[in-house]
Chains A and B, each alone.
Chain A
Amino acid sequence: MIKFLAKGLIRDRSRSLFPLLAIVITVTLVIFGIGFMEGAMNNFLQSTAVISSGHVKVVTKAYEKESNQLPNDLALFETDKIIRTLYNMYPNYFWSPRITFGGLLDVPNENGETKEQAPVFGIGIDFFSEKSRQAEIWELEKYLISGHLLKDRDDALISLKLAEQLNVNIGSAITLISSTMDNAFTTYNFNVVGTFNLNKGQADRQMILVDISGVRQALDMEDAASEIFGYHNSLYYDDEDAVRIRSDFNLTYSDSIEQMLRNEESYNALSYMAGWNKISNAEKRKLPKQRTDALSDNQMYDNIDEWEDLSVEDPAIFSPKMIALRDSSQLASMVDFSNVAMSVMAAIFLVIVMVVLWNMGLMNGLRRYGEFGLRLAIGESKGQVYRSMIIEAVIIGFVGTLLGTILGVSLTYYVQEFGIDYSEAINQMSSEMVLPNVFYAKVTSELYYIGFIPGVLATVLGTMLAGLAIYKREMSQLFKELEA
């Protein structure tokens, strides 16, 4: 039966070609549309995650408050220890220290005098450690315009825009003029080994990328870092999971460090008290905690408005705090909006496509009104005609969806690999967000089945609805219709 109907479909082009084409085109559009939206959103989040936020990141509370000033004097200490703890607590993530810094880049002439100078925004990344996976997520081979990747502590990659501004070439020595984490003036020589263009709008206009070991030397930040970035091992940003580990870390580890720092400070403050040496060790252990609790209960930590001179500097501002991607760069509303918008857009798209295909099924059924009449007149039962219509719709729907899925996934894969370049539009936008110049689509597992909803379901439903008319037809009317 199926073979017979399939032959009919192939031989009668008017019955199969147009519906098949319509299904292929709409399924391709559905798949590519959803794949591109997914990919574009992921590109945007991943660009921000790689450059400025991680999926989650750990900073000191004080650093978070002034982060736009790149305050490395408020950086994290003992980062190796914190990273070990993070790996133990959250093994599904990988962790990497990062130093972001500002300053001036000074290019000397042959006499060592300043030839060119420009402000610079630098990122010290842990490229050399095995576990950090930074070389993988930055994909610098892809963005390298000339030269080679970092090999040495003092190597630097400089953005093409900055290299052109400063007129530096591969092999040039450049001097970073900046401040150490103690706010002392510092200078440090780097060697330019390559130029890059991240294709992310204005984000890399003044950027240099160096290994964190070089920056630590330059800024006197041994075992310190501005931030520790965490990325999910799969490299996909899972908002729910990121929020979960952020809350967990801040409630457990961060709070315990906060308490420890305050107790240490209380111990130091109390040790200046007359008679401190005369009290027992048990009391010495108890009293700092009591002082800390009392200060905390009375909100005396840095609460100058109420306590003025009696207000106490809070050492807890240096305790680590975890921030999820949605918390930084004002991305919370963006993430929420994108999730809702994606679902709504996908739903609308699907509904429209379904209506089109449904309508096509109806039209197809009505167009063959005469044919069905003839088949009924020569003795085929209404049920047989109806079933054959539905089987035809299933065959057309299935084949069309299959072809559409192959075409849609191929197109999505092509755009996933090569992207669509929006450089000119993005470069005209001045935004604090890191926007990619090239948007890539993303082939996800749902793309392999999502096309079957409109492709098969809508076509079959449309046909079923149109086919109901078969049951309303009276045998006595059929010959009159045929005569006409």
Chain B
Amino acid sequence: MKNGLILFFLSSSFLFTQSDQMSADDIMKAMDQNLNAESRIITSKMVVKGRRNNRTIESKNWVVGTELAFTEYLSPPREAGTKMLKIGEKLYTYSPQTDRVIQISGHMLRQSVMGSDMSYNDMMEDRPIEELYSATIEGSTMLDGRDHWIMVLDAKVKGISYPKRRSWVDKEYLLPKKEELYAKSGKLLKTASLEGIKKIEGRWFPSKFVYKDELKRNSKGTEWIIDNIQFNKKIPDSRFSKALLRK
């Protein structure tokens, strides 16, 4: 028992020392490792909290890397059967009411997904943080009794939705507990927070994301609740074909 305790303290102090000495690049790499995978199959629901009512939208997503994603909406009845397909930079949507496949591009990418606080651009920009930003550590702070780095991320590629971000990264989970997303001008556009972080298939992953579009007067935020997630499952290529949108 005593040996066990010593081993615990030794290992935790080693871990603590290791995480405290991480560089900003290491932290971004670790965040990417937690959040991204070769493939993901997610069943989730999105709770859109408006000033006048709340709506819950259930969906199932199949994601391979950062290039391919397929989403099928399961409920409510009005949205059921709506599908979205992302292939690289292209995003297609299909609605059973019109039986049309429409490519979403240009300014439409800035529109909200199902009335939520997330835009299509948010969905599209799935690339690893490390590829998009260069980071500096601003300092450390305690948040909800846990130690966090405060990191400032500046875009190193052009044309992304949020040229600047400030993240509060949990030193143990290596996940951004809270984020502020800014425009080039410095205006706060969105805030995001991660809740219910738990270990899934060997990685820390949140079970709830909360987004708030700070420019939307009529929104109280959107909760994206992960009901089920599977990492690195084989997904057939046919899942990402345009033909499947109509089926």
Contact in complex: B100, A108 (CB < 8 Å): yes
Interface string of A89-112 (1 = CB under 8 A from B): 000000000000000101010001
Q: How far is the CA of A182 from the CA of B51 in the complex (A)?
A: 10
Contact in complex: B98, A179 (CB < 8 Å): no
Chain A CB within 8 A of B48 CB: yes
Contact in complex: A112, B55 (CB < 8 Å): no
Contact in complex: A313, B51 (CB < 8 Å): yes
Contact in complex: B101, A112 (CB < 8 Å): yes
Contact in complex: B100, A185 (CB < 8 Å): no
Interface footprint category on A? 20 to 34
Q: Of A113, A182, A187, A220, which contacts B98 at CB under 8 A?
A: A187
Q: Of B100, B111, B112, which contacts A175 at CB under 8 A?
A: B100
For the complex, count residues of B whose C-beta is within 8 A of A: 27
B92 to chain A, nearest CB (A): 11
Contact in complex: A175, B115 (CB < 8 Å): no
- In residues 108-156 of chain B, which contact A (Cβ within 8 Å)? 108, 111-116, 120
Chain A CB within 8 A of B203 CB: no
- Specify which chain A residues have a CB less than 8 angstroms from the CB of B116 in the assembled complex: 184
- Specify which chain B residues have a CB less than 8 angstroms from the CB of A188 in the assembled complex: 97-98
Chain B CB within 8 A of A339 CB: no
Chain A CB within 8 A of B102 CB: yes
Q: How far is the CA of A314 from the CA of B111 in the complex (A)?
A: 26
- Specify which chain B residues have a CB less than 8 angstroms from the CB of A112 in the assembled complex: 99-101
Contact in complex: A189, B108 (CB < 8 Å): no
Contact in complex: B93, A185 (CB < 8 Å): yes
Contact in complex: A175, B98 (CB < 8 Å): yes
Chain B CB within 8 A of A183 CB: yes
A18 to chain B, nearest CB (A): 70
- Specify which chain B residues have a CB less than 8 angstroms from the CB of A113 in the assembled complex: 101
Contact in complex: A184, B218 (CB < 8 Å): no
Chain B CB within 8 A of A208 CB: no
Contact in complex: B97, A185 (CB < 8 Å): no
- Specify which chain B residues have a CB less than 8 angstroms from the CB of A43 in the assembled complex: none
Contact in complex: A184, B97 (CB < 8 Å): no
- Specify which chain A residues have a CB less than 8 angstroms from the CB of B115 in the assembled complex: 179-180, 182-184
Chain A CB within 8 A of B90 CB: no
- Given A175-B102, A185-B93: A104 and B108 within 8 A (CB)? yes
A70 to chain B, nearest CB (A): 14
Contact in complex: B114, A184 (CB < 8 Å): yes
- Given A112-B101, A187-B95, A189-B98: A179 and B111 within 8 A (CB)? yes
Chain A CB within 8 A of B234 CB: no
Contact in complex: B113, A185 (CB < 8 Å): yes
- Specify which chain B residues have a CB less than 8 angstroms from the CB of A74 in the assembled complex: 218
Interface pairs A-B: 3 shortest CB-CB: A182-B115, A184-B115, A183-B115
